[in-house]
C-alpha cells in the first residue's frame, strides 16, 4: 500500500479538479511536483477519485484485495 500523508496543490498537474491526494501510486498525484505540494487536505477540496480507488484496493492489513492471487476466506 502506498498511502502517503495528504497533500493538495494550487497546481493541478494533469488533474482537472481541485482535490487532495493521499496515494503515491495515483497518476495525478505523481504529476504534481514535490515543490508544489502543500500538506493537508486544503479548504473545501474533495478526495481524489483515483486515490480513493487505489486506497480501497487494500484491506486494513495492507493486503491487495483486488488481486486475483489474494487469499479469500472460504465461505
Q: Is residue 14 a part of any domain in this protein?
A: yes
Q: Which domain holds residue 34?
A: 3-56
Q: What is the pLDDT of residues 5-43, one digit of tens each?
A: 999 999 888 888 899 999 999 999 999 999 999 999 999
Q: Is the pTM of this model over 0.85?
A: no
Q: What is the pLDDT of residues 48-74, one digit of tens each?
A: 999 999 998 755 555 555 554 444 444
Q: What length is written for the chain?
A: 75
* One-letter-per-residue 3-state SS of the chain: CCEEEEEECCCCCCCCCCEEEEECCCHHHHCCCHHHCEECCCCCCEECHHHHHHHHCECCCCCECCCCCCCCCCC
CB distance 28 to 50 below 8 Å: yes
Q: Is residue 68 a part of any domain in this protein?
A: no
Work out how many domains the chain is built from and give that number.
1
Amino acid at each position: 500500500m502506498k498511502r502517503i500523508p495528504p497533500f493538495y496543490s494550487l497546481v493541478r498537474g494533469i488533474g482537472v479538479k481541485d482535490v487532495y491526494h493521499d496515494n503515491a501510486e495515483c497518476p495525478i498525484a505523481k504529476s504534481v511536483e514535490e515543490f508544489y505540494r502543500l500538506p493537508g487536505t486544503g479548504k473545501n477540496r474533495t478526495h481524489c477519485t483515483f486515490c480513493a480507488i487505489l486506497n480501497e484496493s487494500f484491506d486494513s492489513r495492507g493486503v491487495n484485495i483486488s488481486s486475483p492471487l489474494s487469499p479469500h476466506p472460504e465461505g
